[in-house]
Structure 1
Amino acid sequence: MRGQPPVSRPPSLDGLDVSGTPHAQFLATEHWSLLATRSMTWNEIFSRTGTYLTVLSATVVALSLVANATGFGPDFRTFALLVLPVVLLIGLGTYFRLIEAEIEDAWLVIAMNRLRHAYLELAPELEPYFVAGHHDDGPGMLQTYAFRNRVGVTHWLSGSPVIVGIIDAVVTGVLAAIVCQAVGGGVVARTVAGVVVAVATVVALGGVAYRKVHRASRDYHPQFPS
Protein backbone atom coordinates (compact mmCIF):
# COMPACT_ATOMS: atom_id res chain seq x y z
CA MET A 1 0.00 0.00 0.00
CA ARG A 2 1.10 3.56 -0.72
CA GLY A 3 2.70 5.26 2.25
CA GLN A 4 3.52 2.01 3.99
CA PRO A 5 7.20 1.74 5.00
CA PRO A 6 9.21 -0.90 3.20
CA VAL A 7 9.46 -4.23 4.93
CA SER A 8 13.07 -4.95 5.91
CA ARG A 9 14.16 -8.55 6.12
CA PRO A 10 15.88 -9.49 9.37
CA PRO A 11 19.47 -10.76 9.21
CA SER A 12 19.76 -14.46 8.52
CA LEU A 13 22.25 -17.19 9.24
CA ASP A 14 22.28 -19.76 6.43
CA GLY A 15 18.69 -18.82 5.65
CA LEU A 16 17.58 -19.11 9.27
CA ASP A 17 15.50 -16.21 10.55
CA VAL A 18 17.16 -14.74 13.62
CA SER A 19 14.48 -12.28 14.61
CA GLY A 20 13.36 -12.86 18.16
CA THR A 21 15.99 -15.56 18.79
CA PRO A 22 19.29 -14.78 20.54
CA HIS A 23 21.51 -16.56 18.02
CA ALA A 24 24.38 -14.19 18.74
CA GLN A 25 24.28 -15.29 22.39
CA PHE A 26 24.41 -18.93 21.36
CA LEU A 27 27.37 -18.23 19.10
CA ALA A 28 29.15 -16.25 21.80
CA THR A 29 28.64 -19.04 24.33
CA GLU A 30 30.11 -21.56 21.92
CA HIS A 31 32.98 -19.17 21.18
CA TRP A 32 33.87 -18.89 24.86
CA SER A 33 33.67 -22.66 25.24
CA LEU A 34 36.09 -23.15 22.36
CA LEU A 35 38.37 -20.45 23.75
CA ALA A 36 38.48 -22.18 27.14
CA THR A 37 39.25 -25.52 25.50
CA ARG A 38 42.03 -23.93 23.47
CA SER A 39 43.48 -22.39 26.62
CA MET A 40 43.52 -25.82 28.27
CA THR A 41 45.26 -27.28 25.21
CA TRP A 42 47.99 -24.65 25.30
CA ASN A 43 48.43 -25.10 29.05
CA GLU A 44 48.96 -28.81 28.43
CA ILE A 45 51.53 -28.04 25.73
CA PHE A 46 53.51 -25.78 28.06
CA SER A 47 53.16 -28.16 30.99
CA ARG A 48 54.33 -31.23 29.08
CA THR A 49 57.22 -29.37 27.48
CA GLY A 50 58.31 -27.96 30.84
CA THR A 51 58.09 -31.37 32.52
CA TYR A 52 60.23 -32.98 29.83
CA LEU A 53 62.86 -30.25 29.99
CA THR A 54 62.95 -30.58 33.78
CA VAL A 55 63.51 -34.33 33.54
CA LEU A 56 66.19 -33.79 30.89
CA SER A 57 67.98 -31.16 32.99
CA ALA A 58 67.93 -33.41 36.06
CA THR A 59 69.33 -36.27 33.99
CA VAL A 60 72.18 -34.13 32.63
CA VAL A 61 73.09 -33.06 36.18
CA ALA A 62 73.00 -36.67 37.37
CA LEU A 63 75.19 -37.80 34.46
CA SER A 64 77.68 -35.02 35.25
CA LEU A 65 77.93 -36.12 38.88
CA VAL A 66 78.37 -39.77 37.94
CA ALA A 67 80.98 -38.84 35.31
CA ASN A 68 82.99 -36.89 37.90
CA ALA A 69 82.82 -39.83 40.29
CA THR A 70 83.63 -42.60 37.79
CA GLY A 71 85.73 -40.79 35.19
CA PHE A 72 83.49 -41.84 32.28
CA GLY A 73 84.23 -45.46 33.00
CA PRO A 74 82.03 -48.55 32.75
CA ASP A 75 79.90 -47.41 35.68
CA PHE A 76 79.10 -44.18 33.85
CA ARG A 77 78.09 -46.06 30.73
CA THR A 78 75.89 -48.39 32.75
CA PHE A 79 74.17 -45.47 34.45
CA ALA A 80 73.73 -43.63 31.15
CA LEU A 81 72.27 -46.71 29.49
CA LEU A 82 69.76 -46.94 32.32
CA VAL A 83 68.55 -43.34 32.46
CA LEU A 84 68.80 -42.14 28.86
CA PRO A 85 66.21 -44.62 27.49
CA VAL A 86 63.76 -43.39 30.14
CA VAL A 87 64.41 -39.78 29.18
CA LEU A 88 64.00 -40.66 25.51
CA LEU A 89 60.72 -42.45 26.22
CA ILE A 90 59.38 -39.38 28.03
CA GLY A 91 60.61 -37.18 25.20
CA LEU A 92 58.95 -39.25 22.49
CA GLY A 93 55.69 -39.33 24.44
CA THR A 94 55.87 -35.57 24.84
CA TYR A 95 56.55 -35.08 21.13
CA PHE A 96 53.65 -37.22 19.97
CA ARG A 97 51.27 -35.57 22.43
CA LEU A 98 52.38 -32.11 21.27
CA ILE A 99 51.63 -33.06 17.67
CA GLU A 100 48.16 -34.23 18.67
CA ALA A 101 47.62 -31.05 20.70
CA GLU A 102 48.65 -28.88 17.74
CA ILE A 103 46.14 -30.73 15.54
CA GLU A 104 43.42 -30.28 18.16
CA ASP A 105 44.27 -26.59 18.39
CA ALA A 106 43.97 -26.28 14.61
CA TRP A 107 40.46 -27.73 14.74
CA LEU A 108 39.56 -25.29 17.51
CA VAL A 109 40.81 -22.41 15.36
CA ILE A 110 38.68 -23.67 12.48
CA ALA A 111 35.62 -23.78 14.73
CA MET A 112 36.24 -20.26 16.05
CA ASN A 113 36.73 -18.93 12.51
CA ARG A 114 33.38 -20.39 11.55
CA LEU A 115 31.75 -18.59 14.45
CA ARG A 116 33.36 -15.31 13.36
CA HIS A 117 31.96 -15.95 9.90
CA ALA A 118 28.54 -16.34 11.48
CA TYR A 119 29.02 -13.06 13.35
CA LEU A 120 29.73 -11.32 10.07
CA GLU A 121 26.65 -12.86 8.50
CA LEU A 122 24.63 -11.36 11.33
CA ALA A 123 26.43 -8.01 11.23
CA PRO A 124 28.50 -7.55 8.04
CA GLU A 125 29.38 -3.99 8.99
CA LEU A 126 31.68 -5.33 11.74
CA GLU A 127 34.17 -6.85 9.29
CA PRO A 128 36.69 -3.94 9.45
CA TYR A 129 37.01 -4.51 13.19
CA PHE A 130 37.92 -8.20 12.97
CA VAL A 131 41.66 -8.93 13.12
CA ALA A 132 41.51 -12.73 13.38
CA GLY A 133 40.38 -14.81 10.42
CA HIS A 134 36.77 -15.66 9.64
CA HIS A 135 37.36 -18.35 7.00
CA ASP A 136 37.84 -22.03 7.83
CA ASP A 137 40.53 -22.81 5.25
CA GLY A 138 44.33 -22.62 5.38
CA PRO A 139 44.70 -18.85 4.87
CA GLY A 140 41.95 -18.21 7.40
CA MET A 141 43.72 -20.34 10.00
CA LEU A 142 47.01 -18.54 9.42
CA GLN A 143 45.21 -15.24 9.76
CA THR A 144 44.08 -16.29 13.23
CA TYR A 145 47.41 -17.86 14.21
CA ALA A 146 49.79 -15.16 13.00
CA PHE A 147 47.55 -12.33 11.67
CA ARG A 148 48.97 -12.75 8.18
CA ASN A 149 48.48 -15.04 5.18
CA ARG A 150 51.79 -16.88 5.46
CA VAL A 151 54.50 -17.53 8.01
CA GLY A 152 58.22 -18.11 7.60
CA VAL A 153 60.50 -20.96 8.54
CA THR A 154 61.43 -19.33 11.83
CA HIS A 155 57.80 -19.47 12.94
CA TRP A 156 57.65 -23.24 12.44
CA LEU A 157 61.12 -23.86 13.92
CA SER A 158 60.14 -22.03 17.11
CA GLY A 159 57.20 -24.32 17.76
CA SER A 160 57.25 -26.60 20.79
CA PRO A 161 56.97 -29.88 18.79
CA VAL A 162 59.99 -28.97 16.65
CA ILE A 163 62.11 -28.05 19.66
CA VAL A 164 61.15 -31.20 21.54
CA GLY A 165 61.75 -33.31 18.43
CA ILE A 166 65.25 -31.89 17.98
CA ILE A 167 66.06 -32.56 21.64
CA ASP A 168 64.78 -36.12 21.22
CA ALA A 169 67.07 -36.55 18.22
CA VAL A 170 70.08 -35.32 20.22
CA VAL A 171 69.27 -37.67 23.10
CA THR A 172 68.92 -40.55 20.65
CA GLY A 173 72.27 -39.70 19.05
CA VAL A 174 74.01 -39.55 22.44
CA LEU A 175 72.47 -42.87 23.42
CA ALA A 176 73.66 -44.43 20.17
CA ALA A 177 77.19 -43.11 20.75
CA ILE A 178 77.26 -44.56 24.27
CA VAL A 179 76.05 -47.92 22.98
CA CYS A 180 78.75 -47.82 20.31
CA GLN A 181 81.35 -47.08 22.97
CA ALA A 182 80.05 -49.92 25.13
CA VAL A 183 80.62 -52.42 22.31
CA GLY A 184 84.17 -51.18 21.72
CA GLY A 185 83.72 -48.56 19.01
CA GLY A 186 86.35 -45.86 18.58
CA VAL A 187 85.92 -42.11 18.59
CA VAL A 188 85.19 -41.89 14.88
CA ALA A 189 82.69 -44.75 15.02
CA ARG A 190 80.92 -43.21 18.00
CA THR A 191 80.72 -39.81 16.32
CA VAL A 192 79.40 -41.23 13.05
CA ALA A 193 76.89 -43.44 14.84
CA GLY A 194 75.61 -40.55 16.95
CA VAL A 195 75.23 -38.16 14.00
CA VAL A 196 73.59 -40.73 11.72
CA VAL A 197 71.12 -41.86 14.38
CA ALA A 198 70.28 -38.27 15.31
CA VAL A 199 69.60 -37.29 11.69
CA ALA A 200 67.57 -40.46 11.14
CA THR A 201 65.52 -39.63 14.24
CA VAL A 202 64.79 -36.13 12.94
CA VAL A 203 63.62 -37.56 9.62
CA ALA A 204 61.50 -40.23 11.32
CA LEU A 205 59.83 -37.82 13.74
CA GLY A 206 59.19 -35.32 10.95
CA GLY A 207 57.63 -38.08 8.84
CA VAL A 208 55.36 -39.14 11.69
CA ALA A 209 54.21 -35.55 12.24
CA TYR A 210 53.59 -35.05 8.53
CA ARG A 211 51.49 -38.21 8.29
CA LYS A 212 49.42 -37.24 11.31
CA VAL A 213 48.73 -33.75 9.96
CA HIS A 214 48.02 -35.10 6.47
CA ARG A 215 45.64 -37.70 7.85
CA ALA A 216 43.78 -35.07 9.86
CA SER A 217 43.39 -32.68 6.90
CA ARG A 218 42.97 -35.20 4.07
CA ASP A 219 39.18 -35.43 4.14
CA TYR A 220 38.52 -31.90 5.37
CA HIS A 221 36.59 -29.52 3.14
CA PRO A 222 36.15 -25.91 4.32
CA GLN A 223 32.61 -24.58 4.40
CA PHE A 224 33.62 -20.92 4.23
CA PRO A 225 36.80 -20.70 2.12
CA SER A 226 38.59 -17.43 1.53
Structure 2
Amino acid sequence: MEADNQDAEPSATLMSAIVTEHFVLQSAAGTTVSEAIGRSSLYLSVLSSSLIALGFASQTPGLLLPFAAAALPTVFVLGVLTTARLVDTGVQNILYLSGITRIRGYYRELGPEAARYFPPWAAVEGGTEDALRSMAVKSGPLAGLFTAASMIAVINGVLAGVCLALLTYYVVTDHHLMSALAAGLATAAACLTVFYRYQHRRYLSIRR
Protein backbone atom coordinates (compact mmCIF):
# COMPACT_ATOMS: atom_id res chain seq x y z
CA MET A 1 0.00 0.00 0.00
CA GLU A 2 2.77 2.40 0.89
CA ALA A 3 4.47 1.70 -2.43
CA ASP A 4 1.20 2.35 -4.29
CA ASN A 5 0.78 5.71 -2.57
CA GLN A 6 4.30 6.70 -3.51
CA ASP A 7 3.64 5.72 -7.12
CA ALA A 8 0.45 7.81 -7.16
CA GLU A 9 2.25 10.93 -5.97
CA PRO A 10 3.80 13.09 -8.70
CA SER A 11 7.55 13.21 -8.79
CA ALA A 12 9.43 16.35 -7.84
CA THR A 13 10.77 16.61 -11.39
CA LEU A 14 7.28 16.50 -12.89
CA MET A 15 5.93 19.09 -10.45
CA SER A 16 8.87 21.39 -11.16
CA ALA A 17 8.26 21.08 -14.90
CA ILE A 18 4.54 21.78 -14.51
CA VAL A 19 5.12 24.82 -12.32
CA THR A 20 7.70 26.12 -14.79
CA GLU A 21 5.29 25.61 -17.69
CA HIS A 22 2.58 27.42 -15.73
CA PHE A 23 4.91 30.39 -15.26
CA VAL A 24 5.96 30.37 -18.93
CA LEU A 25 2.33 30.31 -20.09
CA GLN A 26 1.42 33.20 -17.78
CA SER A 27 4.37 35.24 -19.06
CA ALA A 28 3.50 34.47 -22.69
CA ALA A 29 -0.15 35.44 -22.12
CA GLY A 30 0.99 38.73 -20.61
CA THR A 31 3.21 39.33 -23.63
CA THR A 32 0.27 39.01 -26.01
CA VAL A 33 -1.65 41.63 -24.02
CA SER A 34 1.34 43.99 -24.05
CA GLU A 35 1.75 43.55 -27.80
CA ALA A 36 -1.95 44.23 -28.38
CA ILE A 37 -1.76 47.43 -26.33
CA GLY A 38 1.38 48.57 -28.16
CA ARG A 39 -0.01 47.93 -31.63
CA SER A 40 -3.35 49.55 -30.82
CA SER A 41 -1.61 52.62 -29.39
CA LEU A 42 0.62 52.90 -32.46
CA TYR A 43 -2.35 52.79 -34.82
CA LEU A 44 -4.35 55.34 -32.84
CA SER A 45 -1.33 57.65 -32.64
CA VAL A 46 -0.81 57.52 -36.41
CA LEU A 47 -4.53 58.09 -37.02
CA SER A 48 -4.77 61.06 -34.66
CA SER A 49 -1.61 62.62 -36.13
CA SER A 50 -2.99 62.21 -39.64
CA LEU A 51 -6.28 63.85 -38.71
CA ILE A 52 -4.49 66.78 -37.11
CA ALA A 53 -2.38 67.15 -40.25
CA LEU A 54 -5.56 67.05 -42.34
CA GLY A 55 -6.92 69.93 -40.28
CA PHE A 56 -3.87 72.03 -41.09
CA ALA A 57 -3.94 70.97 -44.74
CA SER A 58 -7.58 72.06 -45.07
CA GLN A 59 -6.52 75.66 -44.43
CA THR A 60 -4.54 75.68 -47.68
CA PRO A 61 -6.66 75.65 -50.87
CA GLY A 62 -5.99 72.66 -53.08
CA LEU A 63 -3.90 70.80 -50.49
CA LEU A 64 -6.60 68.87 -48.61
CA LEU A 65 -7.50 66.29 -51.26
CA PRO A 66 -3.92 65.33 -52.28
CA PHE A 67 -2.89 65.01 -48.65
CA ALA A 68 -5.99 62.99 -47.74
CA ALA A 69 -5.45 60.72 -50.77
CA ALA A 70 -1.95 59.94 -49.52
CA ALA A 71 -2.50 59.79 -45.75
CA LEU A 72 -5.87 58.10 -45.25
CA PRO A 73 -5.25 54.98 -47.40
CA THR A 74 -1.88 54.54 -45.68
CA VAL A 75 -3.52 54.65 -42.26
CA PHE A 76 -6.20 52.24 -43.46
CA VAL A 77 -3.60 49.68 -44.61
CA LEU A 78 -1.85 50.05 -41.25
CA GLY A 79 -5.21 49.40 -39.58
CA VAL A 80 -5.78 46.23 -41.59
CA LEU A 81 -2.36 44.89 -40.64
CA THR A 82 -2.92 45.89 -37.02
CA THR A 83 -6.29 44.14 -36.75
CA ALA A 84 -4.92 40.98 -38.37
CA ARG A 85 -2.11 40.83 -35.84
CA LEU A 86 -4.45 41.64 -32.95
CA VAL A 87 -6.58 38.65 -33.92
CA ASP A 88 -3.41 36.53 -33.87
CA THR A 89 -2.45 37.76 -30.39
CA GLY A 90 -6.00 37.09 -29.19
CA VAL A 91 -5.82 33.52 -30.47
CA GLN A 92 -2.39 33.10 -28.86
CA ASN A 93 -3.73 34.39 -25.55
CA ILE A 94 -6.60 31.89 -25.57
CA LEU A 95 -4.19 29.04 -26.33
CA TYR A 96 -1.93 30.04 -23.46
CA LEU A 97 -4.88 30.37 -21.08
CA SER A 98 -6.15 26.96 -22.19
CA GLY A 99 -2.80 25.49 -21.21
CA ILE A 100 -3.02 27.18 -17.82
CA THR A 101 -6.50 25.81 -17.21
CA ARG A 102 -5.28 22.28 -18.06
CA ILE A 103 -2.50 22.66 -15.49
CA ARG A 104 -5.02 23.88 -12.94
CA GLY A 105 -7.03 20.75 -13.69
CA TYR A 106 -3.96 18.71 -12.79
CA TYR A 107 -3.52 20.66 -9.57
CA ARG A 108 -7.15 19.94 -8.77
CA GLU A 109 -6.42 16.19 -8.73
CA LEU A 110 -3.47 16.35 -6.35
CA GLY A 111 -5.54 15.70 -3.25
CA PRO A 112 -8.98 15.85 -1.62
CA GLU A 113 -8.56 19.51 -0.66
CA ALA A 114 -7.14 20.63 -3.99
CA ALA A 115 -10.52 20.95 -5.71
CA ARG A 116 -11.43 23.66 -3.23
CA TYR A 117 -8.53 25.87 -4.32
CA PHE A 118 -8.50 25.14 -8.06
CA PRO A 119 -12.15 25.16 -9.18
CA PRO A 120 -12.89 24.91 -12.92
CA TRP A 121 -14.10 28.04 -14.65
CA ALA A 122 -16.49 26.22 -16.99
CA ALA A 123 -18.25 22.88 -17.30
CA VAL A 124 -15.74 21.76 -19.95
CA GLU A 125 -12.43 21.86 -18.12
CA GLY A 126 -9.11 22.72 -19.71
CA GLY A 127 -10.45 23.88 -23.08
CA THR A 128 -11.29 27.11 -24.85
CA GLU A 129 -14.51 27.56 -22.88
CA ASP A 130 -12.61 27.27 -19.62
CA ALA A 131 -10.02 29.80 -20.82
CA LEU A 132 -12.68 32.30 -21.87
CA ARG A 133 -14.54 31.98 -18.58
CA SER A 134 -11.28 32.73 -16.74
CA MET A 135 -11.51 36.21 -18.35
CA ALA A 136 -15.24 36.51 -17.53
CA VAL A 137 -16.09 36.09 -21.24
CA LYS A 138 -18.89 33.83 -22.40
CA SER A 139 -18.18 32.06 -25.67
CA GLY A 140 -20.54 32.68 -28.55
CA PRO A 141 -20.97 34.76 -31.71
CA LEU A 142 -20.81 38.03 -29.73
CA ALA A 143 -17.64 37.19 -27.81
CA GLY A 144 -15.47 38.68 -30.54
CA LEU A 145 -17.14 42.09 -30.23
CA PHE A 146 -15.15 42.87 -27.09
CA THR A 147 -11.62 42.24 -28.33
CA ALA A 148 -8.93 44.85 -29.02
CA ALA A 149 -9.02 43.78 -32.66
CA SER A 150 -12.71 44.65 -32.88
CA MET A 151 -12.08 48.09 -31.43
CA ILE A 152 -9.46 48.89 -34.05
CA ALA A 153 -11.54 47.27 -36.81
CA VAL A 154 -14.50 49.57 -36.06
CA ILE A 155 -12.32 52.66 -36.23
CA ASN A 156 -10.61 51.42 -39.39
CA GLY A 157 -13.96 50.57 -40.98
CA VAL A 158 -15.19 54.11 -40.33
CA LEU A 159 -11.95 55.43 -41.83
CA ALA A 160 -12.50 53.35 -44.97
CA GLY A 161 -16.05 54.65 -45.19
CA VAL A 162 -14.83 58.25 -44.92
CA CYS A 163 -12.25 57.65 -47.65
CA LEU A 164 -14.83 56.27 -50.05
CA ALA A 165 -17.32 58.99 -49.14
CA LEU A 166 -14.77 61.72 -49.93
CA LEU A 167 -13.84 60.01 -53.18
CA THR A 168 -17.49 59.72 -54.18
CA TYR A 169 -18.31 63.28 -53.16
CA TYR A 170 -15.42 65.05 -54.85
CA VAL A 171 -14.55 62.80 -57.81
CA VAL A 172 -17.32 60.37 -58.75
CA THR A 173 -20.59 62.25 -58.28
CA ASP A 174 -19.43 65.89 -58.26
CA HIS A 175 -20.62 66.92 -54.76
CA HIS A 176 -23.64 64.67 -54.39
CA LEU A 177 -23.94 64.28 -50.61
CA MET A 178 -26.41 61.38 -50.38
CA SER A 179 -24.45 59.22 -52.81
CA ALA A 180 -21.28 59.91 -50.83
CA LEU A 181 -22.96 58.97 -47.55
CA ALA A 182 -24.36 55.77 -49.05
CA ALA A 183 -20.96 54.78 -50.43
CA GLY A 184 -19.30 55.49 -47.08
CA LEU A 185 -21.83 53.51 -45.06
CA ALA A 186 -21.70 50.56 -47.44
CA THR A 187 -17.90 50.52 -47.35
CA ALA A 188 -17.75 50.66 -43.55
CA ALA A 189 -20.33 47.87 -43.25
CA ALA A 190 -18.47 45.70 -45.77
CA CYS A 191 -15.13 46.16 -43.95
CA LEU A 192 -16.64 45.24 -40.58
CA THR A 193 -18.43 42.23 -42.02
CA VAL A 194 -15.23 40.88 -43.57
CA PHE A 195 -13.33 41.46 -40.35
CA TYR A 196 -15.87 39.75 -38.08
CA ARG A 197 -16.12 36.75 -40.36
CA TYR A 198 -12.33 36.45 -40.39
CA GLN A 199 -12.03 36.82 -36.62
CA HIS A 200 -14.85 34.38 -35.94
CA ARG A 201 -13.26 31.76 -38.21
CA ARG A 202 -9.88 32.20 -36.51
CA TYR A 203 -11.35 31.71 -33.05
CA LEU A 204 -13.41 28.73 -34.16
CA SER A 205 -10.22 27.05 -35.36
CA ILE A 206 -8.90 26.76 -31.78
CA ARG A 207 -12.06 25.34 -30.18
CA ARG A 208 -11.84 21.89 -28.72
Task: Please give the root-mean-square deviation of Cα atoms over the aligned residues, in Å.
Answer: 2.4
Task: Specify the alignment match of 2:145 in structure 1.
Answer: 157
Q: What is the alpha-carbon distance in structure 2 between the residues aligned to residue 11 and residue 75 of structure 1? A: 80
The answer to whether the aligner puts 1:54 opposite 2:42 as a matched pair is no
Q: Give yes or no for the alignment of 1:189 onto 2:179.
A: yes
Structure 1, gaps ≥5 residues long: 1-5, 221-226
Tell me the secondary structure at the aligned position of residue 122 of structure 1: coil
> Equivalences for 1:33-182 in 2 at 5 Å?
33-70=24-61, 74-130=62-118, 133=121, 135-146=125-136, 150=138, 156-182=144-170
User: Residues 173-203 of structure 1: CA distance to partner in whole angstroms, max 9, x if unpaired?
Assistant: 0110111123242111111111111111111
Q: Is the 8 A contact 2:108 2:119 kept in 1?
A: no
Number of equivalenced pairs: 204
Paired residue secondary structure (1:69): coil
* Letter of the 1:198 counterpart: A
1:151/1:207 CA distance change after superposition, 3 Å: closer
Identify the residue that residue 26 of structure 1 maps to in structure 2.
Answer: 17
Superposed displacement of residue 39, structure 1 = 1.0
The sequence identity of aligned pairs, in percent, is: 23
Residue of structure 1 equivalent to 2:5? 10
Consecutive unaligned residues in structure 2, runs of 5 or more = none
Q: Using a 3 Å threshold, how does the CA distance of structure 1 residues 194 and 11 change in structure 2: closer, same or farther?
A: farther
Partners of 1:189 and 1:156 in 2: CA distance: 32
Deviations 1:16-74 (Å, cap 9, x if unpaired)?
x445533222211110011111111111000000100000110110111111233xxx4
Q: Tell me what 1:204 maps to.
A: 194
TM-score, normalised to structure 1, is: 0.81
In structure 2, give the amino acid aligned to 1:170. V
Q: Which has the higher helix share?
A: 2
Rounded to whole Å, the distance in 2 between the matches of 1:18 and 1:189 is: 72
Q: Which amino acid letter does the alignment assign opposite residue 56 of structure 1? A: L
Structure 2 counterpart SS, 1:166: helix
